[in-house]
Amino acid sequence: MPVTRYSKYEATLDDLDMADLMKMIQDRLLESGFQRNPWDPDPNYQQSMQDLYDAIAEALINNDLVNQQTIEEAMNAENWMESKLGEAVKELAQRLEQEGYLRPQNGEDANNEMSQGQGQQGPNQDPGQVKFELTNKAIDFLGYKTLKDVLGGAGQSSIGAHDTEFQTTGIEAVSESKPYEFGDTMNLDMGETFKNAARRGIQDGKLELDYGDLQVMQSEYFSSAATVVMLDCSHSMILYGEDRFTPAKQVALALAHMINTQYQGDVIKFVLFHNSAEEIPLAKLATCQVGPYHTNTAEGLRLAQKILKRQNKDMKQIVMITDGKPSAITLPNGRVYKNAYGLDPMVLGETLREVGNCRRQGIQVNTFMLARDPELIAFVQRVSQMTKGKAYFTTPHTIGRYVLQDFQSRRTKMVN
């Protein structure tokens, strides 16, 4: 009689899902300079294939996915990339590329180059020199991973998905009908329409309908919003013993994912502010770096207003994530004036002037502050009061929860 024996299945790295690997290395992929040299940040730094290999190896070791013998062999090797661990890491990096999470820069097949063997590698094939970039799939995945809450808002617009206190006319009726107005959807309430006509009586055996008799059904009204996320990438975001910029980027990616997938009609843009300010596309957000910069909040607000002016939305808002008081402004001649010591009256005046411009345009400024200096708290409270926005004093560990909840809730509250 044949006998079937069963043994415990031992998983291998071939069974590792690339989405799980992306979760393991996401912090390294979004790293903003804190792990390198926070005292001398390089704003133009771009991660190389060697950085990716190091991140994957660290993830495998930390998650007990390789045995101790393999680790010891790699540690004792002259070049750990030529050990079993190095070969496994290169194979996983190649799988990440094949599944569309990353691509070597300039379309080069860097992983194939890395696997050709030392004797065939030229100087341009050094993994420390070959750069890579994250694909849209990777950006979307990182945003989805961070996202835990649902965004919401208030306002009034014809296209959108934010709940409001308003009602409109549409197919899905939720309450009593209303008199027809020009521009309403012609979803007639026939019963009420004929009632209105019948009140005038029947003439010559006919029931005559008049324009004023028309009643249309009402449905829930949804708003659409234009949002600019302002990210402070000044030196202080990595300088004081913690990385504040990487969590800020994670939150921005989460907002982008939710808005792009669930809020039809919404628009989200991103602005980096430092000595100056610049708009960056979503594709570049994950890899942007902190630099040896001051904080030109006024220039960031000025650029955000220009972006929002181009958006035909009823609801416009700025989400500003920062950890420092304004310390720079751009003078009329283009020169940048800087003063990092206290709240400089000239810097403060120019910044509040831009805040006032936001108020006049109906733009709400919601500030998420990663520091608690008394002067800074007073400044943020003033900004919030001027634009009827919200102020949240939080930490890098909790900022994601508060930013996402702010989109969900219309309540204004101070997080102490």
DSSP string, 88-119: HHHHHHHHHHHTTSEEEGGG--HHHHHTT-GG
Residue 255 has pLDDT above 90, yes or no: no
Residue 178 phi, psi dihedral angles, 5° rounding = -140, 160
Domains observed in the chain: 13-135 (no CATH), 144-158+223-408 (3.40.50.410), 165-221 (no CATH)
Residue 264 has pLDDT above 50, yes or no: yes
Q: Can you tell me the distance from the alpha carbon of 226 to that of 31, in angstroms, rounded to the nearest whole number? A: 28
The pLDDT of residue 211: 67
Q: Are 230 and 300 in contact (CB under 8 A)?
A: yes
Q: Can you tell me the distance from the alpha carbon of 59 to that of 50, in angstroms, rounded to the nearest whole number? A: 14
| Rg value, the chain, Cα | 28
The arithmetic mean of pLDDT across residues 342-360, rounded, is 92
The pLDDT of residue 303: 97
The arithmetic mean of pLDDT across residues 131-153, rounded, is 72
In sequence order, which residues have a C-beta less than 8 Å from that of residue 343 and are 6 or more positions away? Answer: 325, 326, 375, 379
Percent share of the chain, pLDDT over 90: 31
Which is higher by pLDDT, 355 or 173?
355
Q: Can you tell me the distance from the alpha carbon of 317 to that of 5, in angstroms, rounded to the nearest whole number? A: 65
CA angle 286/313/329 to nearest 5° reads: 55
Q: Pick from 4-8, 112-116, 278-282, 378-382 the range whose average pLDDT is largest.
A: 278-282
In sequence order, which residues have a C-beta less than 8 Å from that of residue 122 and are 6 or more positions away? Answer: none
Which is higher by pLDDT, 54 or 159?
54
| Range list of H helices, 240-398 | 245-262, 282-285, 297-309, 345-360, 374-387
Residue 1 has pLDDT above 60, yes or no: no
Q: Can you tell me the distance from the alpha carbon of 133 to that of 131, in angstroms, rounded to the nearest whole number? A: 7
Q: Can you tell me the distance from the alpha carbon of 272 to that of 274, in angstroms, rounded to the nearest whole number? A: 7
Q: Can you tell me the distance from the alpha carbon of 416 to that of 412, in angstroms, rounded to the nearest whole number? A: 13
If phi > 0 it is left, if psi is from -120 to 50 it is alpha, else beta; for residue 233 that is: alpha
- Any idea which residue has 């979503």 for tokens? 282
Residue 9 has pLDDT above 80, yes or no: no
The pLDDT of residue 186: 64
Residue 261 has pLDDT above 50, yes or no: yes
Q: Can you tell me the distance from the alpha carbon of 257 to that of 40, in angstroms, rounded to the nearest whole number? A: 32
**Crossing angle of helices 84-98 and 68-76, rounded to 10°:** 100
The arithmetic mean of pLDDT across residues 349-361, rounded, is 93
The pLDDT of residue 258: 80
Eight-state DSSP code of residue 415 = B
Which is higher by pLDDT, 221 or 348?
348
Q: Can you tell me the distance from the alpha carbon of 338 to that of 332, in angstroms, rounded to the nearest whole number? A: 14
The arithmetic mean of pLDDT across residues 291-309, rounded, is 95
Residue 217 phi, psi dihedral angles, 5° rounding = -75, 145
Q: Are 386 and 362 in contact (CB under 8 A)?
A: no
CA angle 138/370/140 to nearest 5° reads: 10
The amino acid that residue 411 corresponds to is R
- Within the chain, how many helices (H) and strands (E) appear? 14, 14
Q: Can you tell me the distance from the alpha carbon of 144 to that of 155, in angstroms, rounded to the nearest whole number? A: 26
- Any idea which residue has 């979803």 for tokens? 187
Residue 114 has pLDDT above 50, yes or no: no
Residue 206 has pLDDT above 90, yes or no: no
The pLDDT of residue 384: 85
The pLDDT of residue 36: 85
| Full-model pTM | 0.72
The pLDDT of residue 222: 56
